[in-house]
């Protein structure tokens, strides 16, 4: 069963403002850059932008899930894949994925891009995710010490259990993670 962490910290207002002022790269359906926008504006307008998702597996074939901090500007308190975010202008998706994996989960491991996934989802607070996502996976068997300002909990969970939990309580999972699972991809540990 998934459990939230004990150490829940609110995100201070200045940190939240800084996160929302970050810029994202707007792209077309072939991932060619077409502009730059503030992250909040991109989600308010529902414009297609570049993103990444990271799936970290352990040696037992379990996926590392995180419960998003309740104070996140959207999807707070929901369970999702190990890490996700947006590359900054001029930053590669791989570099951004490695940076955020370390910032959010305090995990450093080699990452391999396994493909891309485009989706659109209506979120809470009147926001829309419309993302061209570069999906990465890695393997890690070390200590997990997530940043409590980013993550309210984590769980190493098998693919079968993830599918059963999403079927039973879909409202507890992020829109993008549910779409990954519904598509049957990419929910397999590295070979």
Query: Three-state SS across 34-82?
Result: EEEEEHHHHHHHCCCEEEEEEEEECCCCCEEEEEECCCCCCCCCCEECC
pTM of the model: 0.86
Match 């079968």 to its residue by tokens.
160
Return the sign of the alpha-carbon dihedral for residues 88, 119, 30, 136.
positive
Nearest of 125, 138, 126, 123 to residue 177 by alpha carbon:
123
How far is Cα 113 from Cα 108, in angstroms, rounded to an integer?
Answer: 15
| Percent above pLDDT 90 for the chain | 74
φ, ψ at 24 (rounded to 5°): -120, 160
Please, which pLDDT band fits residue 124 given cuts at 50, 70 and 90?
Answer: confident
Name which of 31, 27, 54 is nearest 135 in CA terms.
54
Q: Evaluate if residue 3 carries a pLDDT over 50.
A: no
Inform me whether the pLDDT recorded for 75 exceeds 80.
Answer: yes
Q: What is the pLDDT, as a whole number, of residue 9?
A: 36
84 is catalytic: yes
Mean pLDDT of 69-73: 86
Whether the pLDDT of residue 185 is over 90: the answer is no
Domains and CATH numbers, the chain: 13-182 (3.90.79.10)
pLDDT at 15 over 70: no
More confident site: 105 or 20: 105
Query: What pLDDT is attached to residue 10?
Result: 40
- Reply yes or no on whether 41 is catalytic: no
User: How far is it, in rounded angstroms, from Cα 107 to Cα 93?
Assistant: 17
Say if residue 26's pLDDT is above 90: yes
Sequence-distant contacts of 163-167: CB under 8 A, at least 24 apart: 163/187, 165/2, 165/79
A 10 A CB-CB count for 57 gives 21
Among candidate residues 84, 104, 129, 151, the one labeled active-site is: 84
């Amino acid at each position: 069963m998934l459990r939230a962490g004990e150490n829940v910290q609110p995100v201070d207002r200045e940190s939240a403002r800084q996160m929302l002022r970050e810029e994202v790269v707007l792209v077309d359906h072939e991932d060619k850059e077409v502009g730059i926008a503030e992250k909040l504006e991109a989600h308010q307008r529902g414009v297609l932008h570049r993103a990444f998702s990271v799936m970290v597996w352990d040696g037992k074939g379990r996926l590392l899930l995180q419960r998003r901090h309740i104070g996140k500007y959207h999807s707070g308190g929901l369970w999702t894949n190990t890490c996700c975010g947006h590359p900054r202008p001029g930053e590669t998706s791989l570099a951004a994925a490695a940076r955020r994996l370390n910032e959010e989960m305090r995990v450093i491991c080699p990452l391999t891009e396994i493909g891309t996934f485009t989706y659109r989802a209506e979120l809470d607070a009147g926001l829309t995710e419309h993302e061209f996502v570069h999906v990465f996976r890695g393997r890690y068997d070390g200590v997990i010490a997530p940043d409590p300002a980013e993550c309210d909990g984590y769980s190493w969970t098998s693919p079968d259990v993830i599918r059963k939990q999403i079927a039973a309580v879909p409202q507890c999972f992020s829109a993008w993670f549910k779409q990954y699972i519904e598509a049957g991809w990419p929910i397999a540990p590295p070979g």
